[in-house]
């Protein structure tokens, strides 16, 4: 994929549905009694992997454009899959599925792509074993392929070392099938889509700061879910609008759940001209966001905000190259275990374009404002968010760039290039 530099970006788009919420809507619909209707579902590869895994366990799931219907029969309605469950590139599918299967009295084997095989699964397999699931896998269940045989579960109190919604959700889903009350405590609050959506499915959950508790034995009742636009996808256009000269972009119906809006806080802190028009939604708040080309200053990003913008750090790094002064990102070692080691891939690729950026143990330091030169080949490394960040970078490069493995963006944003072309004006 080759890009021409020099265009401005103007107009409005509606980014696709939220990835985290789309996964959960299918999973919880499959676990509920009755028919769940999902609107504005994300048809990216990751969420399609979730659909295919649940179909393999006998769940009737129909997909028509962005509408999905799921006919659930409760946890006990899941059937033993006849072949391996392939999660593709999706960490959310892998970890939440393990939590669900921990209580299912049958055998299942989970495999994924090369990237999934490098991502640590012991953060869920260790607590799920403690609850009573039988789990084996490569390096004693640290990496896929992983096989699991669920059974009777006991509640646990789990103190997670990392703020991870995938870990929290996996344990809560196992907790729903356990005897007693399961509690997960995190160092900082991670995204709370599981808690919000389980409540929409009629489950009672107790939340207290960074701690969440659930009583086992509750059942889910089917409901209708509207999936808001994904703020992690919107982030690419928010940054594009702020750094590409003469731009103004409006993004419609973006989810602004406070556990996800770190990017908005950082943009404001750095001086971006951003307006937010809030809209209602039953269980997840939404807004129209408008951004304009802005004069930016560097900032420090650390601590509790990190889980609220962890997926946006690649595009924030690009933003920081166009801000006056130094931007420091720390407390973000989790970046090393995402779809790629995002400290390495962001630093390596932005350096190729001429950015002043250095990796640290738990983040990166970026000095700006630096003109990006381009005229080179860059790679997504098979990571959708690195690919989209580089595509946005091309708009401020002095010369064209060639992006290898651009197809990786289909994981979360299949219409990304279409939207980019819609907004690009010369």
Choose the catalytic residue: 18, 192, 311, 383: 311
- By beta-carbon proximity to ligand S3P, the closer residue of 191 and 419 is 191
Q: Which of residues 337-366 bind ligand S3P (CB under 6 A)?
A: none
- Is the separation of the CB atoms in 289 and 275 below 8 Å? yes
203 versus 401: smaller Cβ distance to ligand S3P = 203
Q: Which is nearer to ligand S3P, 339 or 349 (CB)?
A: 339
- Residue 60 is among the residues annotated as catalytic for this protein: no
Q: Is residue 386 helix, strand or coil?
A: helix
Residue 349 in 3-state DSSP?
helix
Q: For residue 301, what are the β-bridge partners?
A: 329
Q: Of 115 and 322, which CB lies nearer to ligand S3P in the complex structure?
A: 115
The answer to whether residue 20 forms part of the interface with ligand S3P (CB under 6 A) is yes
Contact status: 311 vs ligand S3P (CB under 6 A): yes
Q: Is 213 in the site for ligand S3P (CB under 6 A)?
A: no
Q: Using the minimum distance from each CB to ligand S3P, give the nearer residue, 64 or 161.
A: 161
- Does 144 bind ligand S3P (CB under 6 A)? Our answer is no
Which DSSP string corresponds to 77-144? G----SS-EE-TT-HHHHHHHHHHHTTSSSEEEEE--TTGGGS--HHHHHHHHHHT-EEEEHHHHTEE
Of 160-168, 206-214, 352-360, 402-410, which part binds ligand S3P (CB under 6 A)? 160-168
Are 201 and 28 in contact by the 8 Å Cβ rule? The answer is yes
Structure tokens at 426: 């010369």
Show contacts with ligand S3P in window 68-107 (CB under 6 A).
92
Stretch that binds ligand S3P, among 7-15, 162-170, 290-298, 367-375 (CB under 6 A): 162-170
Q: Which residues are annotated binding-site positions?
A: 19-20, 24, 91, 119, 164, 166, 311, 338, 342, 385
Return the DSSP state at 140: H
Does position 36 interact with ligand S3P (CB under 6 A)? The reply is: no
Binding mask 191-210 for ligand S3P (x = CB under 6 A): x-------------------
Sheet holding 325-329, edge to edge: 300-301, 325-329, 363-368, 356-360
Choose which of 7, 144, 166, 257 interacts with ligand S3P (CB under 6 A): 166
* Residue closer to ligand S3P (CB basis): 98 or 310: 310
394 near ligand S3P, rule: CB under 6 A: no
Residues 6+ apart with CB under 8 A from 18: 42, 193, 227, 228, 229, 230, 231, 232, 255, 284
CA distance 268 to 203: 36
Would you call 184 helix, strand, or coil by DSSP? Answer: strand
Largest Cα span, the chain: 62
Burial of 426 (0-12, 13-18, 19+ CB in 10 A): exposed
59 binds ligand S3P per the rule CB under 6 A: no
Which of the stretches 64-72, 159-167, 254-262, 357-365 binds ligand S3P when contact is defined by CB under 6 A? 159-167
Site residues, ligand S3P (CB under 6 A): 20, 92, 164-166, 169, 190-191, 310-311, 334
- Which residues are known catalytic residues? 311
């Amino acid at each position: 994929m080759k890009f021409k530099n020099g265009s401005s970006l103007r107009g409005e788009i509606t980014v696709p549905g939220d990835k985290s919420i789309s996964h959960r809507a299918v999973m919880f619909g499959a676990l509920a009694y009755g028919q769940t209707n999902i609107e504005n579902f994300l048809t990216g590869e990751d969420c399609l992997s979730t659909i295919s895994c649940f179909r393999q366990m006998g769940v009737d799931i129909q997909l028509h454009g962005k509408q999905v219907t799921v006919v659930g029969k409760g946890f006990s309605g899941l059937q033993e899959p006849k072949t391996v469950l392939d999660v593709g590139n999706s960490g959310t599918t892998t970890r939440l599925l393990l939590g669900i299967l921990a209580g299912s009295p049958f055998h299942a084997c989970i495999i994924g792509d090369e990237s999934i095989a490098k991502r640590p699964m012991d953060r869920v397999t260790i607590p799920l074993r403690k609850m009573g699931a039988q789990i084996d896998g490569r390096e004693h269940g640290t990496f896929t392929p992983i096989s699991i045989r669920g059974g009777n579960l006991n509640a646990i109190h789990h103190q997670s070392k990392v703020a991870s919604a995938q870990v929290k959700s996996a344990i809560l889903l196992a907790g729903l099938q356990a005897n007693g009350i399961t509690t997960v405590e995190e160092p900082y609050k991670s995204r709370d889509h599981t808690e919000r959506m389980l409540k929409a499915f009629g489950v009672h959950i107790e939340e207290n700061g960074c701690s969440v508790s659930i009583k086992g034995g509750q059942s889910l009742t089917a409901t209708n879910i509207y999936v808001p636009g994904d703020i992690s996808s919107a982030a690419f256009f928010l940054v594009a609008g702020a750094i590409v000269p003469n731009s103004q972009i409006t993004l419609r119906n973006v989810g602004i759940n406070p556990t996800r809006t770190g990017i908005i806080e950082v943009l404001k802190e750095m001086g971006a001209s951003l307006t937010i028009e809030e809209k209602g939604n039953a269980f997840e708040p939404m807004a129209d966001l408008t951004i304009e080309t802005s004069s930016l200053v560097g900032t420090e990003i650390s601590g509790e905000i990190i889980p609220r913008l962890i997926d946006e750090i690649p595009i924030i790094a690009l933003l920081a190259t166009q801000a006056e002064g130094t931007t420091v990102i720390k407390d973000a070692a989790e970046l090393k275990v995402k779809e790629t080691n995002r400290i390495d891939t962001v630093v390596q690729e932005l350096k190729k374009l001429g950015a002043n950026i250095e990796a640290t143990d738990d983040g990166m330091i970026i000095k700006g404002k630096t003109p990006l030169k381009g005229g080179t080949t860059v790679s997504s490394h098979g990571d959708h968010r690195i690919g989209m960040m580089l595509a946005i970078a091309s708009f401020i490069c002095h010369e064209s760039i060639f992006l290898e493995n651009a197809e990786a963006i289909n994981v979360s944003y299949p219409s990304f290039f279409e939207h980019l072309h819609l907004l690009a004006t010369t």
